[in-house]
Structure 1
Amino acid sequence: MNTNFQSYNQQQNWLFPPSIEELVPIEHPVRVVNGIIEQLDLNLLIEEYSKEGKPSYHPKMMLKVMVYAYMDNTYSSRKIERAMRENINFMWLAAQQVADHNTIARFRSKKLKSIFKDIFKQVVLLLAEEGLITLKEVFTDGTKIESVAGRYTFVWGNAIKTRKEKMVEQLEEMWQYAQSIADEEDSDPVPPDFKKIDSEKVERTANKIAEIISKNPRASGRAKAKLRYIQKNFPQNLDRYEEQEKTLAGRGSYSKTDPDATFMRMKDDHMQNGQLKPGYNVQLSSESQFVIHYTLHQTTNDLNTLKPHLDTFESLYEFLPEQLTADAGYGSEENYEFLEEKGIGTYVKYSTFDKEQGILKSKRKKKNEGFHRDKLYYSQEQDHYICPMGQPMENIGERKGKTKSGYLQKSSMYQAQNCQGCPLRTGCFKAKGNRIVERNHALEGYKEKVRENLLSEMGIIKRRQRTADVEPVFAQIKSNRNFNRFTHRGIEKVELEFGLHALAHNLRKKSA
């Protein structure tokens, strides 16, 4: 029998019991959390507490526990409470105090909600003081993260519009029917204006139709049944649609169980087929793989997020970065103009940059690609294009339009002189008449400047750095830490949730 074992006795007492301090390794990440938060000014957080009533747990202790919990992938308030009882690292941070899960949940959702960005900023500035970042150049990108809302709880703006149009059609049909059987006394050749309908207008119109039908014995039973349906359902449906449109606030969709979430095309499902799910568009700026700034948006693309993202950056830090690098999802006249006005060095691709440089090759070559507008020669001096047959396409005027954000754009229109009988007609274009092409001079000017920046020695370095800087941050948070879905509802709460993940990422990287 082998008796070569170390001594094991659970009843053995310690002559000098160890302290918790001795049980936490010197290089452990929990010490980084403790050291960083000890340097922060928490006056804003302290002001969230009342001076009356039962003494609260110290906000510094609660903040340390909360941040370390996210570093430890412990997000549930009940699991955090259990960790404060059982986990030596949590016990050390909390000085062996144990807050119940309700207190932890209230601290996260109420105390941190309005002041967390200030805490995040202070940590970023401490990283800058240590020389880990400069805050002068940032790499910006976006990703979509699914909401905790139900995946089949959608409300679509287009569906509401279609239903209202069908209501108008039925009302007009009923009005015409009523007029066809109306007496001369009730006849009204001018129909109501149904361009904008509401419950009151529908109710008035339905009552007028009912009055005409009730007087005429020739009214069909089908018409009476249809009218009863309109009177019963249309007003309340319109009130509901009006409330839904207020919630949409210009968006194309929202979720019934998380009205702030918009249905977006996600690429992270097991089929990799881009399913529509409720979610938020997370915008992130990084430097040296540290998160510098983050914002959450309800828009489905990145194009209209750059300005509000940088506006909040400036509001938070009271300055802007000197250089910004981003992919083609942000390349627009509005964004280029904004970056130029702010004096930010721009390394932001436009949609066709990679194709121009041969970086992006389409899997299937499009027919007649050689006749595309970008392939035509444009003479800046004479302000005209040259068509594939060598004939000038003269400027015939301007077209103005507004983007979804309200930005005004102007484009010049150029028309060919005589396309009839041209041997290249079938390959050049298919519309009737002479071909017209459009040119946004302001955008083309910005593209020329950006192209020069991107193709410079510094631009090549920036483009390589972007894929190695901001994208690994998303990979670390979403894939390595398995954060693919929010656990809270409402844009304020999910922004705080992502902020805790971003802060935990920064401290985890610092301690690596």
Structure 2
Amino acid sequence: MEYLQGEDRDQLTLYTTCLDDMVPLDNTVRLIDQFVVALDLEQMGFQSLASQGRPPYHPSDLLKLYIYGYMNRMRSSRQLEKECQRNLEVIWLLKNLKPDHNTIARFRKTNHKAIRRVFRYSVEMAKNFNLIGGELIAGDSTKLRAQNSKKNNYNKKKVQRHLEYIDKKLEEHNQALSKADGDKKEDIKKEIDHRKEQRKKYEAIAQRLKEDKSSENPQLSTSDPDSRHQIVRGTITEVCYTAQTTVDAKHKLFIDYKLTNQNDKKAMGVMLRRAKSILRNNSFTALYDKGYHTGSEFYIADQLGIKTLVAVPTIGRSSQAPNPDYNAEHFVYDKASDSYTCPQGHRLTSNQTQYKARNYTFKQYKTKACKNCPVRSECTTSKVNGKVVQRSQYTEHIQRNTERVEANEMLYKKRQALVEHPFGTIKRQWGFDHLMTKKGIRAASADLGLIALAYNLKRMFNLEVGLKDLFKLLRSVIIIMLNLKSSFLSFFDCRTNLYEVNLFYIPNPTIFKI
């Protein structure tokens, strides 16, 4: 049986094609090239990596390499270094440049702000393509594991356990030392010295935790100092960061991201301010889950004039009445008299004292009618004061949200399908469930920024009509960037035919009728 035969490896061959001919015209690597070429990287704040010695690599080449890598599920600087040697698409993209892994890694680490600006440009490009509706957005967070093991994360209780264990071992070693002799005695002394060194280490960590006044339960991560030990889901915990994101409903594109090490309670207000600035209006509706249900954040949303739909959490067991019909939400508030009316028709009033909680103030409403009320046992378990209703300065804003959720149940049900789509793509399909960088939240945010940028670009490229419109997209990118950045106007003559703009090679322009 005959088979196809390969060429002789020792046969000399004269290639008659150039490097550009080896990459098809419909390859998305050309889109990456044109997207980066159209950016003013100097104004965006990209830094050159060398100030002396041989010339540094241009930031555009390293940015192209990273965008290509992230779009093809490659984030490791060593892996990208290998691709520069063997991947024809990367060789074409970088024009046969071969940066080493240290150069590649430093570029990502030192340009977190500039990477964010490039991401913002991708959002502007999507808006110009009419890929962002700006009418409905959804916000959510996801946990991304940090480059810091649980073993290297400490809190006060964990350090205390280590110190107690070391003291116990030292006591055992000292007892053994008193009975030992010869070489065995020397081994025990070395073990005692080792334990003492460990104790100094944990004492230093304990002192740093004692000096940390930023939270009630301070933590210390030794590998990635800004990462925190958090609950991921259920009882599963990881040392990780929290990625806050905002997704537009029209095509599920990211419009914003922010990397934090905090939970969701105080995140909604900040993300809404940024969304208003990005979309340049406040006429959109924002969907969030119950983790964002915080009174102060509703106040910020109302101040911004943004309509929010945030899932209403269930009332805690300790706050519920024996009979749910007598829960506080069934008490009617009258703003004019500043009083509540209970389901039995009794009026609850306040002495106007403002009580302070951790993040808000509140007033208490009571009535003497509770003493003789026939349904007291169904309404409250209090033996002294009877039913007490609390009202904070944010209660009105919370109630407005509840009314909106009840009136728009079908709209709120879209939230999960919108905001979880990018997370599913990034974490499940791409495998980006952790951050590659360490040594601080700034470097980690650069990694997240490249993830969000790669997701947006890949989705925008796929959302176009098809590969037949590839060059239309390429030219549109250039035109849009010309409109966005007036500084580009000096590089081109607006009257020049786009086929003559020397940004990409078209062997026969008459073939492409656009």
TM-score by length of 1: 0.72
Question: Match of 1:118?
Answer: 117
For 1:335, which of 297, 302, 313 is the aligned residue?
Answer: 297
Partner-residue secondary structure (3-state), 1:440: strand
| Offset of residue 416 of structure 1 | 3.0
Return the alpha-carbon distance in structure 1 between the equivalents of residues 203 and 47 of structure 2.
Answer: 45
| Offset of residue 440 of structure 1 | 2.5
Partner-residue secondary structure (3-state), 2:54: coil
Instruction: Give, as a single letter, the amino acid of the residue that structure 2 aligns with 1:466.
Output: R
**8 Å contact kept, 1:263–1:279:** yes
Partner-residue secondary structure (3-state), 2:381: coil
**8 Å contact kept, 1:260–1:491:** yes
In structure 2, do the counterparts of structure 1 residues 82 and 252 end up closer, same or farther at CA, with 3 Å as the change threshold?
same
| Offset of residue 394 of structure 1 | 2.8
Q: How does 1:89-168 map to 2 (within 5 A)?
A: 89-110=89-110, 112-135=111-134, 137-156=136-155
Return the alpha-carbon distance in structure 2 between the equivalents of residues 4 and 150 of structure 1.
Answer: 53
Question: Match of 1:38?
Answer: 37
1:249 aligns with 2:249: no
Displaced runs of 4+ in structure 1, greater than 6 A?
158-163, 234-239
| Offset of residue 492 of structure 1 | 1.0
Question: Match of 1:510?
Answer: 460
In structure 2, do the counterparts of structure 1 residues 419 and 73 end up closer, same or farther at CA, with 3 Å as the change threshold?
same
Instruction: Give, as a single letter, the amino acid of the residue that structure 2 aligns with 1:385.
Output: Y
Q: How does 1:72-471 map to 2 (within 5 A)?
A: 72-110=72-110, 112-135=111-134, 137-156=136-155, 241-247=206-212, 249-250=214-215, 252-254=217-219, 255-267=221-233, 273-287=234-248, 288-299=251-262, 301-311=263-273, 317=278, 319=280, 322-323=283-284, 324-343=286-305, 345-352=306-313, 368-387=323-342, 389-404=344-359, 409-420=360-371, 422-440=373-391, 442-455=393-406, 459=408, 462-471=411-420
In structure 2, do the counterparts of structure 1 residues 107 and 321 end up closer, same or farther at CA, with 3 Å as the change threshold?
farther
Gaps of 5+ in 2: 163-198, 463-514
In structure 2, do the counterparts of structure 1 residues 73 and 132 end up closer, same or farther at CA, with 3 Å as the change threshold?
same
Instruction: Give, as a single letter, the amino acid of the residue that structure 2 aligns with 1:430.
Output: T
User: Which deviates more, 494-503 or 39-48?
Assistant: 39-48
Question: Match of 2:20?
Answer: 21
Instruction: Give, as a single letter, the amino acid of the residue that structure 2 aligns with 1:469.
Output: L
Instruction: Give, as a single letter, the amino acid of the residue that structure 1 aligns with 2:353.
Output: E
**8 Å contact kept, 1:302–1:330:** yes
For 1:480, which of 429, 437, 444 is the aligned residue?
Answer: 429
Deviations 1:304-361 (A, max 9, x none): 122333455677x595654233223223221122122223x21232524xx69xxxxx
**8 Å contact kept, 1:253–1:263:** no
**8 Å contact kept, 1:265–1:274:** yes
**8 Å contact kept, 1:37–1:64:** yes
| Offset of residue 450 of structure 1 | 2.9
**8 Å contact kept, 2:156–2:206:** no
**8 Å contact kept, 2:355–2:361:** yes
Return the alpha-carbon distance in structure 2 between the equivalents of residues 251 and 22 of structure 1.
Answer: 62
| Offset of residue 82 of structure 1 | 0.6
User: Which deviates more, 9-18 or 409-418?
Assistant: 9-18
In structure 2, do the counterparts of structure 1 residues 421 and 45 end up closer, same or farther at CA, with 3 Å as the change threshold?
closer
Number of equivalences: 418
1:57 aligns with 2:23: no
| Offset of residue 478 of structure 1 | 1.2
Alignment RMSD: 3.5
Partner-residue secondary structure (3-state), 1:243: helix
Partner-residue secondary structure (3-state), 1:278: strand
1:497 aligns with 2:447: yes
In structure 2, do the counterparts of structure 1 residues 501 and 388 end up closer, same or farther at CA, with 3 Å as the change threshold?
same
| Offset of residue 263 of structure 1 | 1.4
Question: Match of 1:228?
Answer: none
| Offset of residue 390 of structure 1 | 4.2
Instruction: Give, as a single letter, the amino acid of the residue that structure 2 aligns with 1:504.
Output: A
Return the alpha-carbon distance in structure 2 between the equivalents of residues 410 and 350 of structure 1.
Answer: 23
Question: Match of 1:197?
Answer: none
**8 Å contact kept, 2:29–2:68:** yes
In structure 2, do the counterparts of structure 1 residues 394 and 449 end up closer, same or farther at CA, with 3 Å as the change threshold?
closer
Instruction: Give, as a single letter, the amino acid of the residue that structure 1 aligns with 2:380.
Output: F
TM-score by length of 2: 0.72
Instruction: Give, as a single letter, the amino acid of the residue that structure 1 aligns with 2:245.
Output: L
Instruction: Give, as a single letter, the amino acid of the residue that structure 1 aligns with 2:434.
Output: R
In structure 2, do the counterparts of structure 1 residues 401 and 501 end up closer, same or farther at CA, with 3 Å as the change threshold?
same
**8 Å contact kept, 2:142–2:243:** yes
Return the alpha-carbon distance in structure 2 between the equivalents of residues 8 and 291 of structure 1.
Answer: 48
Aligned sequence identity (%)? 23
| Offset of residue 117 of structure 1 | 1.3
Return the alpha-carbon distance in structure 1 between the equivalents of residues 324 and 444 of structure 2.
Answer: 44
In structure 2, do the counterparts of structure 1 residues 403 and 13 end up closer, same or farther at CA, with 3 Å as the change threshold?
farther
**8 Å contact kept, 2:109–2:437:** no
Return the alpha-carbon distance in structure 1 between the equivalents of residues 80 and 321 of structure 2.
Answer: 56
Deviations 1:257-281 (A, max 9, x none): 32211111112xxxxx432221111
Return the alpha-carbon distance in structure 1 between the equivalents of residues 362 and 254 of structure 2.
Answer: 38
In structure 2, do the counterparts of structure 1 residues 48 and 460 end up closer, same or farther at CA, with 3 Å as the change threshold?
farther
Return the alpha-carbon distance in structure 2 between the equivalents of residues 119 and 327 of structure 1.
Answer: 29
Instruction: Give, as a single letter, the amino acid of the residue that structure 2 aligns with 1:480.
Output: Q
Return the alpha-carbon distance in structure 1 between the equivalents of residues 105 and 409 of structure 2.
Answer: 46
